[in-house]
Each structure stands twice: as C-alpha cells, then as structure tokens.
Structure 1
Amino acid sequence: MTMPLPKSPATAPVTSSAGASVAPPARWPALIETLRDIAARHPDAALASSLAAEDMVLTHAIFGAGLDLGIFTLDTGRLNAETVAMIDRIAARYGRAISVVRPDPRAVREYVEANGLNAFYESVPLRKSCCEIRKVEPLRRALAGRSAWITGQRREQAVTRGELRESEDDPVFGLRKFNPLAAWTHDEVWQAIRAFGIPYNPLHDRGYPSIGCEPCTRAIRPGEDLRAGRWWWESSDSKECGLHAGNLASIPVSVVSIKTP
C-alpha cells in the first residue's frame, strides 16, 4: 500500500511570485473523489499517461492524494527528449516512479525494414500500423489482467471526442475505461497546473497543446484546434492512433494524403 505524501500537494495550492495563492479549479475536489471511487471499485486500475498536461494533472491528483492506482507511460522510441525527461521529473517531484512500457523491438525493426523509418507519412494504414506496433500493442500488454484504465481525454480536444463519457465500457480492450477530465476545459487544466505547481512538458510553452511522437506532432498555429498538430497531414476526424479507437465508432472517417517529405 502506498502511503500518502506529507502535506499532500493535491490539497495545498502554491503561492505565486506576487505572494498570492492561486486557486485550484472548482472541479478539483470532485476529481479527487472520482479517483478515490475508481480506486475503491477497481484497485487494479491504472492511468495511461502521455506525460502531457492532462495526464500530469491526473498524476498529481493520484500521487498527491496517496491513491494506490498505477501509472504507466508508453515510450514509443520516437518521443521528444522533453517528453522522455518527464519520467525522471515525476520521480523527483513525487518520490514515486511510473512504469514505462516499450514496443517489441523486433516488430519495430520489421516495420522499418519493410516500409522505411517514416512510412507513416505515406498513408493512414501505414501510420496506423506504426501506431499499432509502437503504442497499441504495448498498451494491450500494460492493460492485460486489469479491470479498468484511466485516461486524460477531454471532450473539447477533438471532434472524435465530442461525445466522450466520464465512464464507459471499452470495446477495444475489454475493460472499463474512465475519463475523469472529460468535461474539463483547457483553462481548467492549466488552472490546476498553476495552482499546484504541477510539472509539465516544456513543449506546451512552445505551442504544443497535444504531444505525441516527435515526427507526428507539430506546434499549432493561431486559431487551430488543440489537436491540429497531431498527424497534421490527415483530416481532423481520423486523428486517433488506436489507443482510443472507440472514439471513432460513430464518426465517418475521411483521409487526406500527402507525399513523404
């Protein structure tokens, strides 16, 4: 059993440089209770963290409240250095390490030898095949034997997530899926980060609201939606990697192709 952190940062807002306390979002107490309920009903549940802002909020809530929920991340082998560095930053901040799950090196090698290192630019099937090897299969291993998992998905992130529920059956992986930030806004996520001094990926400060693999993610432009930088060569209604394939259940997918750079 994991012991609670002393003077839990989940309930202790930080003080700004001006000396004023930064208020957490009004939803914060409800989030803690939701996570407590998940831990009570599904003690084997785990957060699948992308190490981006939403998942750092959930990590802070879980560790700060001393909840005995697992946290893991998928190191695809193509992540930005700033993203990988978050793994050690989490351990340094909270005194608890998260698990790291990696793809099968033989499957990666065979894909690259057959298609090329960056074949995912050529077609959606090749991109999804890469995602399957580097993300979906490792996730399947990480979820094996669990009754539930937790994500940092939010409804306003993308058209594929507009109907996202806070709790749902996951038909892809065959377990319960919880999205406790589903109704949260972008501003509420960052209010929590400021209020508690939660560590976050520095790429967010460089125009990356959504962060995936380095070759598949770019900074967004003014006026673009939050996930415009993910797989930018595809249409907005196909931008899922397979980790959340259920999001596409009722959405017709069209594809925009470009030549490999």
Structure 2
Amino acid sequence: MTTAPTSTTSAGSAAGAPVGRFGRLTARGANAARSPRAPRRGEDELRALAAAGAAELGDDAPAEEVVAWAARAFPGSLAVACSMADAVLPHVVAALIPGVDVLFLETGYHFAETEGTRDAVAETMDVTVVDVLPELTIAEQDERYGEALHSRDPSRCCALRKVAPLARALSGYEAWATGVRREDAITRVSTPLVGFDETHRIVKINPLAAWSLDELLAYASEHGVIVNPLLADGYPSIGCEPCTARVAPGQDPRSGRWAGFAKTECGIHL
C-alpha cells in the first residue's frame, strides 16, 4: 500500500499535469463525452448484456472475474469512475484492460490529498485519467448561485459539479465500473456486481461490491496500490473538502459527509 503525496496541481486544471504511460486528459461541459471507438449498442442489447452478466457472475464472483467479463462484453467502451479514496479499482481493471479511462470528477473542492492521489495514479498506473469538469468554474457558480452553494444547498452543488458532468461523460460509453461496496452504507447493501443503470442507460459494474474495507486495504498493501492518506486520518468516506468531516470510530463511515443535512449520497449512484 502506497500513500499518495499531496498535490501541487491547481484544482480543475490539467496544465502541467503529470502524464504516465497513458496520460491524463481534461473534459469540460459538452466536450466531456468521448467518441466511442465503435457505434454504441442500443439500450435493449445493453440490458440483455447486464442480465446475462448478472446471471453468470452471481452475487459474489471475484473482482477479477467480474472485470474479465466486462472486458469481453465492452471492448473499448468501459470507463472506471474513481473518487481517488484509493486506486484499488483502477488497479484491478488495468490489469486486464491497460489504458482504461478512469473518470475523476474534478469539482474544484477536493482535498489536496485527493488531488495528490489522482496525480499519482496518472503518473504510475496503466490508465488514462480523465478529469471531468463542471460547465461552471467555482467563480462562475458563485456569481450565478451565490458563494458557498455547498453550505446552503449541497444537493444542487453536487448536481452541478458531479451528477451532470458524469452524465455527459458517460454518454460515450456502454458501461462504467465503480468502487461501490455493500458495506459502505445501508443504502448500498443490495449493490449487484452487474446491473443496468436506469439513470445513464448503460451497464453499471461494481467489481468490489462484496469487499470489506479490510479486504480492500489488504489488497492495496499486498499489491502496493496507492491509497489516499485521509483514509488513515479518520476519513473512511472522502468527498469534497467543505462537505467532509472526520468520523469517530464505530460511526457510519458516511456520517462525515454533508454533516447537518439529511443527505447521504451525492447523487451519482442513485
């Protein structure tokens, strides 16, 4: 397990960004949607693929088996979404799909440690990190909605800086893989390994769904995978800095997110 350094790269900018074997890209607004390498298949076919994958893999197939299935089913049309709490999912996927696109939602509000993890992933792993930016910069958002929207209406802030940018980015893929785990929160206990994403109308794959945090950290240690240092500093769930607080031992891992609000999800997994 490797702890990522703190980033010195300004949030939301790829200028001077470190570039590894496959590099790092920036996508903003309408440009966030990639051009698929082949015509995207229709919704009915994608639904059928999701059903077939769920039947083949069951509820607890090994992560590597899930990724191998995805590599066969979606050649050149799979993206990985990563919050950069750790790089376990990109590591697992890149072992079978070198150069895979790893989407990072660059909100402009991330911890420096999260930016550092993103930079280290781009430098050292066989992936293409894609910084997906909102249409509005923070300054533009402040001008339109007032300063610190996250402190008044975090759901709208998440919608502008996470949900909408991700939707645009995913429009160029047939499937996306996430690091969602069933033990993350009560809202995630029934997370399948493979399913059809009714929001984005593509296949959603959760290779690590059955993993515990201990299993994830053990994998990271065994394989020398980059981990965000905040995980060891009282932040079991890491989001944007203004909306993330430390969690006391024994508390719900996501209780530090949006403290004071009746909100437990940013919206990208709803």
Give the TM-score normalised by the residue count of structure 1: 0.75
Offset, 1:67: 4.0
Write the mapping of 1:49-198 to structure 2, written as runs, cut at 5 A. 49-53=82-86, 56-67=87-98, 69-94=100-125, 96-105=127-136, 108-122=138-152, 126-198=153-225
**Which residue identity is paired with 2:63?**
L
Quote the Cα distance in structure 2 between the aligned partners of 1:149 and 1:66.
Answer: 13
Quote the Cα distance in structure 2 between the aligned partners of 1:70 and 1:36.
Answer: 16
1:38 corresponds in structure 2 to 70
Q: Does 1:242 align with 2:234?
A: no
Summarize the Cα distance change of 1:86–1:114 in structure 2 as closer, same or farther, 3 Å threshold: same
**Which residue identity is paired with 1:40?**
R
Summarize the Cα distance change of 1:89–1:29 in structure 2 as closer, same or farther, 3 Å threshold: farther
Quote the Cα distance in structure 1 between the aligned partners of 2:97 and 2:169.
Answer: 22
Q: Does structure 1 retain, via aligned residues, the 8 Å contact 2:103–2:130?
A: yes
Quote the Cα distance in structure 2 between the aligned partners of 1:34 and 1:169.
Answer: 15
Offset, 1:92: 2.6
Q: Does structure 2 retain, via aligned residues, the 8 Å contact 1:45–1:148?
A: yes
Offset, 1:29: 9.1
Quote the Cα distance in structure 2 between the aligned partners of 1:86 and 1:97.
Answer: 14
Quote the Cα distance in structure 1 between the aligned partners of 2:201 and 2:191.
Answer: 17
Offset, 1:229: 1.1
Summarize the Cα distance change of 1:57–1:66 in structure 2 as closer, same or farther, 3 Å threshold: same
SS at match of 2:62: helix
**Which residue identity is paired with 2:130?**
S
- Alignment partner for residue 222 of structure 1, among 244, 249, 254? 249
Q: Does structure 2 retain, via aligned residues, the 8 Å contact 1:170–1:177?
A: yes
Offset, 1:105: 2.2
Quote the Cα distance in structure 1 between the aligned partners of 2:192 and 2:221.
Answer: 26
Note the alpha carbon deviations across 1:67-124, whole angstroms, 9 max, x for none: 4532111110101111111222113322544111111126x545422443323333xx
Summarize the Cα distance change of 1:66–1:165 in structure 2 as closer, same or farther, 3 Å threshold: closer
Offset, 1:194: 0.9
Note the alpha carbon deviations across 1:167-222, whole angstroms, 9 max, x for none: 11111111111111111111111110111111111111211111110000111012
Quote the Cα distance in structure 2 between the aligned partners of 1:117 and 1:148.
Answer: 36
What RMSD over aligned residues (CA atoms) do the two structures have, in Å? 2.1
Quote the Cα distance in structure 1 between the aligned partners of 2:200 and 2:180.
Answer: 16
Specify which structure has the bigger relative contact order, considering alpha-carbon pairs within 8 angstroms and separated by 6 or more residues: 2
SS at match of 1:130: helix
**Which residue identity is paired with 1:72?**
L
